[in-house]
């Protein structure tokens, strides 16, 4: 069973930095070069200098982005910019945000969670990782000896016990608060009552934890632990046995998974009729609208479809939107093409799009160049540029899909999930020494 532990987190000294809003940042993997520059300018102690330090001219094996991150981290600790809490705490963390006119509050908590390998059946991934990002994060963790950002985990809590426990724990307590560049409000309460760990452990103990976001950070923590073990430094009580994780119940109404639509370049132009011909008997195709602006109405059609594998395509050649519903013949072909995957995987819209449509039915002569966007307004704006011969609207995998695929030991295709909003880096750091 997953084990959680309170810890003495390292946090910004607000009397030194002023507003917490000025020093937080989103996770490293969603920071564009433009946002990186903006965060650098926002405050000299913004956490971006730790989680995504700039590459500078003249960098070498000794002086580089990782060594600079370490120097910032150590100097901020020495100067009192960062301070370690006196007592072990569970860090209750709520995010309040608007999405499509609805106000949400996502409620969870940050703690140390004991690491376990996936095959041990306690922590479950839903996507593959790449060696490059893992090595990047391992270098950073090794240099700083700290986990600078949290993994995002979720677990079943059908009775809603977590929300009751957390709400009670922070009742009448003033949080630390920050607002990020997207206007999302982040509130955190360090709770030092030992009974909170006991209560949360009783809820989480029998349950699996599914990684929602931060697979690279989790696997990096595993590799770091193994490095210390190989070097003989891993004593039984070493903090490297744990990973910093934000834990949220799977039933939380603020657990939002956005779609990740595909904009395709690098393929020959084709019209709606040719697209329908290429899809053949695998799909029933209906032309429904014209112009990029029609994407909103087309997306409503896709969302209303009873089949989660229903797709919408925009063909730039004739400025046309088509809705494609998979047929029994298409299902049969999908089962054949993806026989090495589970039935749960084969039902995913993103799996059907990539395995059946892009890889098999369209089969371009060279791999297409894909760009990913999450909001329909982004789709419309990009399509107006005329740069994309094809676009595909695809429904997101649900939290239930993630659970079902993960429990079968399968992994989803890349860019299957986008949890919104992202967690905030800079609220609390987990020291590993």
In order along its 433 residues, the chain shows pLDDT tens digits of 689 999 999 999 999 999 999 999 999 999 999 999 999 999 999 999 999 999 999 999 999 999 999 999 999 999 999 999 999 999 999 999 999 899 999 999 999 999 999 999 999 999 999 999 999 999 999 999 999 999 999 999 999 999 999 999 999 999 999 999 999 999 999 999 999 999 999 999 889 999 999 999 999 999 999 999 999 999 999 999 999 999 999 999 999 999 999 999 999 999 999 999 999 999 999 999 999 999 999 999 999 999 999 999 999 999 999 999 999 999 999 999 999 999 999 999 999 999 999 999 998 888 899 999 999 999 999 999 999 999 999 999 999 999 999 999 999 998 999 999 999 999 999 999 8
Give the β-pairing of 256-257 and 419-420: antiparallel
- Report pTM: 0.94
Range list of H helices, 338-398: 343-346, 349-351, 376-383
Element (H, E) at 403: helix 399-407
CA angle at 432 for the pair 178 and 188, rounded to the nearest 5°: 20
Q: Tell me the residue length of the chain.
A: 433
Contact 198, 186 (CB under 8 A): no
Contact 55, 208 (CB under 8 A): no
For residues 53 and 47, give the distance between their C-alpha atoms in angstroms, rounded to a whole number: 9
For residues 13 and 382, give the distance between their C-alpha atoms in angstroms, rounded to a whole number: 42
- Which of 391, 382, 387, 383 has the alpha carbon at shortest distance from 357? 391
For residues 381 and 370, give the distance between their C-alpha atoms in angstroms, rounded to a whole number: 16
pLDDT at 71: 98
Question: Exposure pattern of 146-159 as b/e (b: 16+ CB <10 Å)?
Answer: bbbbbbbbbbbbee
For residues 293 and 240, give the distance between their C-alpha atoms in angstroms, rounded to a whole number: 51
Helix, strand, coil content of the chain in percent (nearest 5): 40, 25, 35
- C-alpha gyration radius of the chain: 23
Contact 153, 245 (CB under 8 A): yes
Residue position matching structure tokens 């960098």: 59
CA angle at 362 for the pair 360 and 367, rounded to the nearest 5°: 85
DSSP 8-state assignment for residue 421:
S
Q: Quick one: 274 exposed, middle or buried, by C-beta within 10 A (0-12, 13-18, 19+)?
A: middle
- Which of 413, 404, 395 has the alpha carbon at shortest distance from 354? 413
- Which of 218, 258, 233 has the alpha carbon at shortest distance from 127? 218
For 373, phi then psi, to 5°, come to -135, 160
For residue 113, list its beta bridge partners: 4, 243
pLDDT at 1: 65
Give the three-class secondary structure for 333. Answer: helix
**How many CA atoms lie within 13 Å of 160's alpha carbon, on the beta-carbon side?**
5
For residue 419, list its beta bridge partners: 257
Contact 382, 373 (CB under 8 A): yes
Give the three-class secondary structure for 416. Answer: coil
For 138, phi then psi, to 5°, come to -70, -40
For residue 312, list its beta bridge partners: 323, 393
For residues 194 and 5, give the distance between their C-alpha atoms in angstroms, rounded to a whole number: 10
Strands (E) in 74-202, as ranges, are 82-84, 90-99, 102-114, 123-124, 146-147, 151-155, 176-179, 185-191
Tokens found for residue 33: 């070069």
Give the three-class secondary structure for 257. Answer: strand
pLDDT at 364: 84
């Amino acid at each position: 069973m997953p084990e959680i532990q309170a810890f003495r987190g390292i946090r910004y000294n607000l009397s030194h930095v002023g507003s917490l809003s000025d020093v937080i940042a989103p996770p490293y993997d969603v920071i564009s070069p433009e946002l990186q520059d903006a965060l650098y300018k926002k405050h000299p102690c913004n956490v971006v200098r730790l989680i995504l330090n700039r590459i500078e001219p003249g960098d070498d094996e000794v002086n580089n982005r990782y060594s600079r991150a370490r120097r910032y981290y150590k100097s901020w600790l020495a100067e009192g910019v960062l301070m370690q809490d006196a007592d072990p705490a569970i860090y209750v963390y709520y995010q309040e945000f608007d999405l499509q006119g609805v106000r949400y509050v996502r409620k969870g908590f940050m703690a140390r969670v004991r690491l376990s390998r996936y095959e041990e059946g306690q922590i479950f991934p839903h996507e593959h990782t790449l060696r490059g990002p893992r090595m990047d994060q391992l270098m950073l963790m090794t240099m700083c000896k700290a986990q600078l950002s949290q993994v995002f985990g979720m677990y079943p809590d059908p009775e809603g016990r977590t929300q009751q426990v957390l709400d009670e724990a922070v009742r009448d307590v003033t949080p630390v608060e920050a607002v990020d560049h997207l206007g999302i409000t982040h509130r955190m309460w360090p709770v030092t009552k030992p009974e909170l760990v006991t209560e949360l452990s009783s809820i989480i103990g029998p349950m699996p934890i599914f990684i929602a976001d931060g697979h690279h950070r989790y696997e990096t923590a595993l590799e770091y632990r193994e490095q210390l073990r190989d070097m003989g430094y891993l004593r039984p009580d070493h903090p490297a046995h744990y990973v910093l994780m934000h834990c949220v119940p799977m039933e939380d109404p603020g657990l939002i998974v956005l779609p990740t639509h595909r904009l395709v370049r690098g393929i020959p132009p084709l019209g709606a009729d040719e697209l329908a011909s290429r899809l053949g008997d695998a799909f029933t195709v209906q032309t429904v609208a014209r112009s990029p602006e029609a994407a909103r109405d087309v997306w409503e059609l896709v969302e209303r479809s009873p089949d989660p594998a229903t797709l919408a395509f925009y063909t730039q050649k004739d400025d046309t939107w088509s809705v494609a519903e998979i047929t029994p013949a298409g299902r049969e072909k999908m089962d054949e093409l993806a026989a090495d995957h589970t039935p749960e995987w084969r039902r995913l819209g993103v799996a059907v799009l990539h395995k059946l449509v892009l890889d098999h039915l369209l089969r371009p002569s060279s791999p297409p160049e894909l760009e990913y966007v999450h909001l329909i307004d982004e789709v419309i704006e990009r399509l107006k540029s005329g740069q994309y011969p094809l676009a595909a609207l695809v429904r997101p995998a649900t939290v239930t899909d993630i659970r079902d695929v993960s429990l079968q030991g399968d992994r989803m295709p890349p860019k299957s999930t986008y949890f919104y909003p992202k967690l905030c880096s800079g609220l609390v750091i987990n020291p590993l020494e």
